Structure 1
Amino acid sequence: MAANFVIPAKMKAWVYREHGNAADVLGLDPELEVPEVQEGQVLVKVLAAALNPIDTHRVTGVFQLPGFSLPAVPGYDLAGIVVKVDRKVKELKVGDEVFGIADEHGTLAEYTAVKESSLALKPKKLSFAESASLPLAIQTAHGGLERAGLCPGMSLLVLGGAGGVGTLAIQLGKEVFGAARVAATCSTGKLDLMKSLGADLAIDYTKVNFEDLPEKFDVVYDAVGQSERAVKAVKPGGSVVTIAEHNKTLPPPAFSFIGKSDGSTLEKLNPFLESRKVKPVIDPKSPFPFTQAIEAFSYLQTGRAAGKVVIHPIP
């Protein structure tokens, strides 16, 4: 089967060689070297990718990982086909359709090398574009709810319910964690979207201060960075998890959470995706073609996206 895939030496990829606004520093390189597969990695032919706020922070240099160096390819989320495997790879094989997070090489490229442990088999009933929209957001949503101790019968408030993580936190809260009541904040035009995802109460943040409502919640999931207000909406003994405030002292009982790449979480959630109990939400302006990656970044930075900004097809 390996003979079906001719892997070139060079590939097209979006690259930044200095930090700054994506529109200024991102460029399409038609001759970037295809990454070598290291121990425990597979080479994936990327068919779809998605953008997250952290991608913008990485390009601007606001967020930097230890040992990171330029030039670099942006992007974490991907869906594609395995075209080469290292001999220490145990489960995946050439030809497998996969989705997951690329930690090292970036996903706005025709090929990327990824640790086997960061990938899972793509849900059969989802397209590559839908699958690419999920990995970082669904793992961040799931991990945060798990750490916050959300249990069956509890109540959940999601701040920023229309974003990539928020749309999944609502659904996971209901379908996976068994929350009895889910509320979510959003702008006026997205109230119907909240209800369609299973929110029992959709709160228009342009008209209502959620912390002033008489109803309080067992868990508040803050996807927008409003922990000072969030702690006023939680019940005594409850918890507040924030994914948007990491380098500051948080008011108790708030704590920060950063999602990690973990293929086993994707495998665990696969049945909920196959059954469509948990649905990917892709912004109506998506997908952006590969040649319009800069436009995709610019749109993400407006903060107006409903769900995920996806890039597909990748040539």
Structure 2
Amino acid sequence: MANTKSSIPSHIKAWVYSEYGNIEEVLKFDENVPTPHLKEDQVLIKAVAAALNPVDYKRALGHFKDIDSPLPKTAPGYDVAGVVVRVGNQVKKFQVGDEVYGDVNEVTLDHPMTIGSLAEYTAVEEKVLAQKPSNLGFVEAASLPLAIITAYQGLETAEFSAGKSILVLGGAGGVGSLVIQIAKHVLGASKIAATASTAKLELLRNLGADLPIDYTKENFEEFPEKFDVVYDAVGQSERALKAVKEEGKVVTILPPGTPPAIPFLLTSDGALLEKLRPYLESGKVKPILDPKSPFPFSHTVEAFSYLKTNRATGKVVIHPIP
């Protein structure tokens, strides 16, 4: 692994877009992107694996261009796992050779990095990174940061705590699969219900759901039982409000949401990843990878096309890079 200044190239391979549009059409492979400049509080990571997220293709469509980093050239990607090859002068937690992972953008939509995780090297602030859990490979680790932080902080926002019940909408997805596990194994839920399609109900049981709900056959909002918290990971906050107790809370990760559902976006946080590390290393909380993962770096466009079908189970990951 490259770990000296002289062995880090001046230009790198990356997937980039130079105009807004459908990501499958605008994303291009570029093998001559300048290596990101390292700030004092950053580390330079040689990326080994990266996960894809819906925010990547929504950003490419220009949905957030008023607060996005400016074009002409953007390499998308939030989640990364890799090896530290250079450290800024103010960095205290990491040194060259450390295996790390994280969501590279502290604030999801406010001027995200121009060179994200779909590049050979990326320069990342120390505070959003954590040591890779010792029992996880790079592919598994890359699948986690954005989803697990979203899961945990969303539960915090809903004031979820031990002894409460929860309904998870989209329990087989990247975020939902981790909400179930955190609610059960970290926060001590009394009962967990979750929705998925017929083929994914067994996965919900394996994750810890007490009541798997087939959304193709049942309307959860018509159940007589109501829940302390409904975690909406699919954009159904209006229906979710009919399934929550009178004093309960609905949190949705697809803003704007229907009031009084609470719209929520994560803040990337390396300290939270460290806090959750014992649960990952003990196997109580497991990353869930889509069976098609990983996609090779050369098939990144194909991977985005698959992610956009909304049929993925768990996370879609790119590996190796490049």
Q: Same fold (TM over 0.5)?
A: yes
Instruction: Measure how far apart 1:232 and its partner are.
Output: 0.6
1:36 aligns with 2:68: no
| Number of the residue aligned with 2:9 | 8
1:88 aligns with 2:98: no
Among 103, 122, 125, the alignment partner of 2:132 is 122
| Number of the residue aligned with 2:287 | 280
Q: What secondary structure is seen at the aligned counterpart in 2 of 1:164?
A: coil
Contact 1:5 1:83 in 2 (8 A): no
Q: Which amino acid aligns with 1:99?
A: Y
| Number of the residue aligned with 1:183 | 193
| Number of the residue aligned with 1:58 | 59
1:110 aligns with 2:120: yes
Instruction: Measure how far apart 1:302 and its partner are.
Output: 0.2
Structure 1 residues 198-256: Cα deviation after superposition (integer angstroms, max 9, x where no partner): 0001000000000001111000000011111101100111100000123x6x232x111
1:76 aligns with 2:78: yes
Contact 2:103 2:146 in 1 (8 A): yes
Instruction: Measure how far apart 1:46 and its partner are.
Output: 0.2
Q: Could you tell me how far apart the structure 1 residues matched to 2:231 and 2:180 are?
A: 9
Q: Could you tell me how far apart the structure 1 residues matched to 2:174 and 2:83 are?
A: 24
Question: Structure 1-normalised TM-score?
Answer: 0.97
Q: Could you tell me how far apart the structure 1 residues matched to 2:94 and 2:46 are?
A: 14
Following TM superposition, the consecutive aligned residue runs of length 4 or more in structure 1 with deviations greater than 4 angstroms are none
Among 98, 101, 123, the alignment partner of 2:103 is 101
Report the count of equivalent residues: 312
- Percent sequence identity over aligned pairs: 60
Q: Could you tell me how far apart the structure 2 residues matched to 1:268 and 1:86 are?
A: 24
Instruction: Measure how far apart 1:60 and its partner are.
Output: 1.1
Contact 2:4 2:86 in 1 (8 A): no
Q: Which amino acid aligns with 1:61?
A: G
Q: Could you tell me how far apart the structure 2 residues matched to 1:286 and 1:65 are?
A: 33
CA gap 1:5/1:139 in 2 versus in 1, 3 angstroms = farther
Among 248, 256, 264, the alignment partner of 1:257 is 264
Q: Could you tell me how far apart the structure 1 residues matched to 2:153 and 2:130 are?
A: 17
Q: Could you tell me how far apart the structure 2 residues matched to 1:93 and 1:79 are?
A: 15
1:235 aligns with 2:245: yes
CA gap 1:5/1:46 in 2 versus in 1, 3 angstroms = farther
Structure 1 residues 4-59: Cα deviation after superposition (integer angstroms, max 9, x where no partner): 98101011000000011111100000111110101200000000000011011011
| Number of the residue aligned with 1:313 | 320
Question: Structure 2-normalised TM-score?
Answer: 0.95
Which runs of 5 or more residues in structure 2 are unaligned? 106-112
Instruction: Measure how far apart 1:64 and its partner are.
Output: 3.4
Q: Could you tell me how far apart the structure 1 residues matched to 2:6 and 2:310 are?
A: 39
Among 156, 169, 178, the alignment partner of 1:146 is 156
CA gap 1:4/1:40 in 2 versus in 1, 3 angstroms = closer
Which runs of 5 or more residues in structure 1 are unaligned? none
Q: Could you tell me how far apart the structure 2 residues matched to 1:45 and 1:81 are?
A: 5
| Number of the residue aligned with 2:165 | 155
Contact 1:76 1:102 in 2 (8 A): yes
Q: What secondary structure is seen at the aligned counterpart in 2 of 1:232?
A: coil
Q: Could you say what the CA RMSD is over the residues aligned between the two structures, in angstroms?
A: 1.3
Instruction: Measure how far apart 1:290 and its partner are.
Output: 0.3
| Number of the residue aligned with 1:221 | 231
Q: Which amino acid aligns with 1:93?
A: Q
Structure 1 residues 71-111: Cα deviation after superposition (integer angstroms, max 9, x where no partner): 10010000000000000001111110000011212100000
Q: Could you tell me how far apart the structure 1 residues matched to 2:273 and 2:292 are?
A: 26
Contact 1:54 1:63 in 2 (8 A): no
Among 150, 153, 170, the alignment partner of 2:180 is 170
Q: Could you tell me how far apart the structure 1 residues matched to 2:51 and 2:3 are?
A: 27
Instruction: Measure how far apart 1:67 and its partner are.
Output: 5.2
